[in-house]
Amino acid sequence: MNVAQSQEASLLAPALRKFQLLVRLQPEEVEALEHMLSRYARHLGQHDDLVSEGSPLQFVRIILSGWAYRYKMLEDGRRQILAFLLPGDFCDPNYFCLGHFDHSIGSITALSYAMVPATVYQQLLHDHPRIARVATVDTLLDLSIQREWTLNLGQRDAYERIAHLLCELYIRLHAIGLAENGKCAFPLTQSDLAEATGLSTVHVNRTLQALRAAGLITLTAKTLTIANLQALESTALFTSDYLHWDVGTSLTRNSSGPADGGGEGMIEAR
């Protein structure tokens, strides 16, 4: 393996790790994915749009490195961040089933992502049913996270809300090998946090100070340190159920259970 190849491998590592979390893949499936991802890899600077609302849906984009967010705006300019996208996250799995994009996706940091034409993508899924499963499970996971955000915005107060978001991000980063020992890179500004939690930036600032004063977090120089994750989780009323990280393992059990005959295509376009 030469230098270029190993650099490429390390670029893809977090994304592949995410996929393996959802479905345990065979070496040849990993290889097919690696091939596709590196073939269609692209780069983007920070604070730029990958996809804008209303775009037609002819590509499937997968984050390889860096952070991005989904967001939606109201006519009067108010903006809500709907989700954060980390390496291995699909921007738009299956969305080509719908007519148009109903929100936008922007980069937070400089970003690498794969932009795969829908036809190529569909062929890959057709050839590798277990990769298709990755895409499906990822969609369901997205849905589950979105529900948790609904709960977060509807029921938790500012303090719990921000704590919850920090827990989610840390745990998702940890799962793909981008956080360790309570420490992770954290490129969000307080104003990003505000738009994600539906709070004002001033209030986010004060709430972060409260979290710091409680000894729960350190957050400086784009690095988040969580002193005691369990303590943070309990103040946030956080449980990681909704991230469904038993899927990769439980699936083996599950799919051998019903013993369903033959491939059950879930999305067959016609």
Binding letters toward a second copy, positions 116-155, x by CB under 8 A = --xx--xx-xx--xx-xx-xxx-xxxxxx-xxxxxx-xxx
Using alpha carbons, select from 13, 69, 58, 30 the residue that is nearest to residue 187.
69
Q: Is 76 in the site for a second copy (CB under 8 A)?
A: yes
Q: How far is the CB of 11 from DNA (least distance, A)?
A: 21
Burial of 136 (0-12, 13-18, 19+ CB in 10 A): middle
Burial of 35 (0-12, 13-18, 19+ CB in 10 A): exposed
Give the Cα separation of 245 and 243 in Å (integer): 6
Give the Cα separation of 126 and 130 in Å (integer): 9
Q: Is 65 in the site for DNA (CB under 7 A)?
A: no
Q: Is 263 in the site for a second copy (CB under 8 A)?
A: yes
Task: Single out the residue of 2, 3, 4, 260 in contact with a second copy (rule: CB under 8 A).
Answer: 260
Give the Cα separation of 226 and 217 in Å (integer): 5
Question: Residue 255 binds what, of a second copy, DNA, none (CB under 5 to 8 Å, by partner type)?
Answer: a second copy
Binding letters toward a second copy, positions 93-122, x by CB under 8 A = -xxxxxxx-xx--------------xx--x
Q: Is 72 in the site for a second copy (CB under 8 A)?
A: yes
Contacts with DNA by CB under 7 A lie at 157-159, 189-191, 198-203, 205-206, 208-209, 221
